Chain A
Amino acid sequence: MKMIYLDNNATTRVAPEVVDAMLPYLKDFYGNPSSMYEFARKAETAIERARTALAALLGADPREIIFTSCGTESDNTAIWATLRANPDKRHVITTRVEHAAVKNLGTFLSKNGYRVTFVPVDAKGFLDQDYLFDHLSHDTAIVSVMWANNETGVIFPVEEIAAQVREKGVVFHTDAVQAVGKIPIDLGRNAIDMLSLSGHKLHGPKGIGALYVRKGTRFSPFLIGGHQEAGRRGGTENVASIAGLGRASELAAANLHGEITRLRSLRDALETGILERVPNAIVNGDRQNRLPNTTNISFEFIEGESILLMMDELGICASSGSACTSGSLEPSHVLRAMGVPFTAAHGSIRFSLSAYNTREEIDYVVDRLPAVVERLRELSPYWEPAMACKGRA
Chain B
Amino acid sequence: MWEYTKKVKDLFLHPKNVGVIEDPDGVGEVGSMACGDALKLTFKLDEIKRIKDVKFQTFGCASAIASSSALTEMLKGKTIEEAEKITNDDIVAYLGGLPKEKMHCSVMGQQALEEAIACYRGKPATEKPGNIVCECFGVTDVEIRQALKSHHLTGLEDVTNYLKAGGGCGNCQEKILEIISEIHGLATSAEKTKPQLTTLQKIHLIEDTLAREIEPALAKDGGGIDLIDVDGNRVLVKLRGACSGCKVSKLTLKDFVEKKLRELVVPELVVEEVSE
Q: Say yes or no for B93: interface residue by CB 8 A criterion.
A: no
| Closest B residue, CB atoms, query A324 | B61
Contact with A along B12-32 (1 / 0, CB 8 A): 110100101000011111000
CB contacts (< 8 Å) of A346 on chain B: these are: 33, 36
B37 neighbours in A (Cβ, 8 Å): 303
The answer on a CB contact under 8 Å between A381 and B40 is yes
Known: A111-B221, A303-B37, A324-B36. A380 touches B61 (CB 8 A): no
Inter-chain contact B124/A378, CB cutoff 8 Å: no
Whether A343 sits at the interface, judged by CB under 8 Å, is yes
Q: Which of B36-60 contact A (CB under 8 A)?
A: 36-40, 42, 57-60
Q: What sequence of 0s and 1s flags, for each residue 119-139 of chain B, a beta carbon within 8 Å of any chain A beta carbon?
A: 111111100000000001100
Whether the Cβ atoms of A303 and B122 lie closer than 8 Å is no
* B165 shortest CB reach to chain A, Å: 9
A131 to B73, CA, bound (A): 55
Q: Which residue of A lies closest to B165 (CB)?
A: A329
Taking CB atoms, residues of chain A closer than 8 Å to B36 are: 303, 322-324, 329, 331, 342, 346
With known contacts A391-B124, A393-B121, A322–B164 Cβ distance under 8 A: no
Asked if B187 is at the interface of the complex by the 8 Å CB criterion, the answer is no
Contacts of A112 in B (CB 8 A): 221-222, 242, 246
1/0 per residue, CB under 8 A from A, across B97-122: the answer is: 00001000000000000000001111
User: What 1/0 flags go to A310-328 for Cβ under 8 Å of B?
Assistant: 1001000000001110011
A23 is an interface residue with CB less than 8 A from chain B: no
Q: Is the CB of B120 within 8 A of A301?
A: no
A392 at interface (Cβ–Cβ under 8 A)? yes
Chain B CB count within 10 A is highest, among A108, A328, A391, for A391
Asked whether B71 is an interface residue with its Cβ less than 8 Å from the other chain, the reply is no
* CB-CB under 8 A for A328 and B167, given A303-B61, A342-B34, A382-B38: yes
A305, CB-defined interface residue at 8 Å: yes
CB distance from B188 to the nearest CB of A (A): 30
Q: CB distance A379 to B119 under 8 Å? A: no
Taking CB atoms, residues of chain B closer than 8 Å to A379 are 15, 18, 57-59, 65
Query: What is the minimal beta-carbon distance from B246 to any residue of chain A, in angstroms?
Result: 7
Q: In whole angstroms, what is the CA distance A248 to B222 when docked?
A: 35
- Cβ of B267 within 8 Å of any chain A Cβ, yes or no, is no
Does A302 sit within 8 A of B, measured CB to CB?
yes
Q: State the Cβ distance, B38 to closest chain A Cβ, in Å.
A: 6
Residues of chain B within 8 A (CB-CB) of A384 are 20
**A383 to chain B: closest residue by CB:** B57
How many angstroms from the CA of A382 to the CA of B27 in the assembled complex?
15
Question: Is there an interface contact between B25 and A382, defined as CB atoms closer than 8 Å?
Answer: no
User: Given A306-B12, A389-B27, does the pair A378, B59 have CB atoms closer than 8 Å?
Assistant: no
Closest A residue by C-beta to B80 = A393
The answer to whether B59 touches A382, judged by C-beta atoms less than 8 angstroms apart, is: yes
Determine if A306 and B65 form an interchain contact, defined as CB atoms under 8 angstroms apart.
yes
Q: Is A386 an interface residue (CB 8 A)?
A: yes
Q: How far is the CA of A23 from the CA of B100 in the complex (A)?
A: 42
Check if B59 sits within 8 Å of A301, measured CB to CB. Answer: yes
Q: A329-B168, A393-B120 are in contact. Are A381 and B222 (CB under 8 A)?
A: no
Q: How far is the CB of A319 from the nearest CB of chain B, in Å?
A: 11
| A44 at interface by CB-CB < 8 Å | no
Does B62 make an interface contact (CB < 8 A)? yes
Does the CB pair A343–B62 fall under 8 Å?
A: no
Q: Pick the contact of B59: A331, A380, A387, A388 (CB < 8 A).
A: A380
In the complex, which residue of chain A has the Cβ closest to the Cβ of B125?
A389
B173 adjacent to chain A (CB < 8 Å)? no
By a CB distance below 8 angstroms, the chain A residues around B20 are 384, 387
Among A305, A306, A342, the most chain B Cβ lie within 10 Å of the Cβ of: A305
Return chain B residues, CB-CB under 8 Å to A323: 36
Cβ-defined contact, B65 with A381, below 8 A: no
Which A residues lie within 8 Å of B136 (CB)?
329-330
Q: Is the CB of B60 within 8 A of A306?
A: yes
Which residue from chain A places its CB closest to the CB of B49 in the assembled complex?
A393
Q: Is the CB of B13 within 8 A of A381?
A: no
B160 at the interface (CB under 8 A from A): yes
In the docked arrangement, what's the CA distance between A322 and B60, Å?
10
Q: Which of chain A's residues have a CB closer than 8 A to the CB of B123? A: 391
Q: How far is the CA of A97 from the CA of B2 in the complex (A)?
A: 26
Of A111, A380, A392, the residue contacting B57 (CB under 8 A) is A380
Name 9 A/B residue pairs within 8 A (Cβ), A-sorted: A108-B242, A303-B59, A303-B61, A304-B61, A322-B61, A379-B59, A382-B59, A387-B20, A389-B119
List 7 additional A-B contacts (Cβ < 8 Å) besides A112-B221, A302-B59, A389-B125.
A329-B36, A342-B33, A381-B58, A381-B59, A382-B33, A390-B119, A392-B26
* Smallest CB-CB A-B distances: 3 pairs: A329-B167, A324-B61, A305-B61
